[in-house]
Amino acid sequence: MTRLLYVSQGYCTHDRRFLEQFMAQEYQVWFLPCAVDRVRYEQRAVPEGVRGLPPLIAAPFPWGARDWLRALWRFGQRLREIKPDLVQAGTVQ
């Protein structure tokens, strides 16, 4: 089964639709938001079966230089932990 890491700025309706489609294709899916949303754009939880991960940074954008470095380090950690076959970038505003 293909292991997919879906990375997005936050979580919105478009992300949910993408995640639903990946689950329908029987991927193993992990969802990694980059930041905490200031506004909750999608009220529903991630689709069933998607493994939600905590945001790279527990703060909304914009980030400072130190936050970016921390996010990159954490992203590398997630890649080593999950070992995805595919990394898909989601919506970024």
What's the pLDDT tens digit per position in 33-60? 998 877 888 999 999 999 999 999 887 7
Contact by Cβ (8 Å): 27, 1: yes
pLDDT at 91: 76
Alpha-carbon 73 to chain mean position = 15
DSSP state of 71: H
Alpha carbon 61 to its chain centroid, in Å, reads 15
Cα gap 13→66, rounded to integer Å: 30
pLDDT given for residue 63 in this prediction? 79
All domains of the chain in start order, with CATH: 3-89 (3.40.50.2000)
What's the farthest any 2 CA atoms get from each other in the chain?
Answer: 38
How far is the CA of 65 from the CAs of 33, 37, 74, 87, 92, in angstroms? 18, 19, 14, 24, 19
Average pLDDT value for the chain? 92
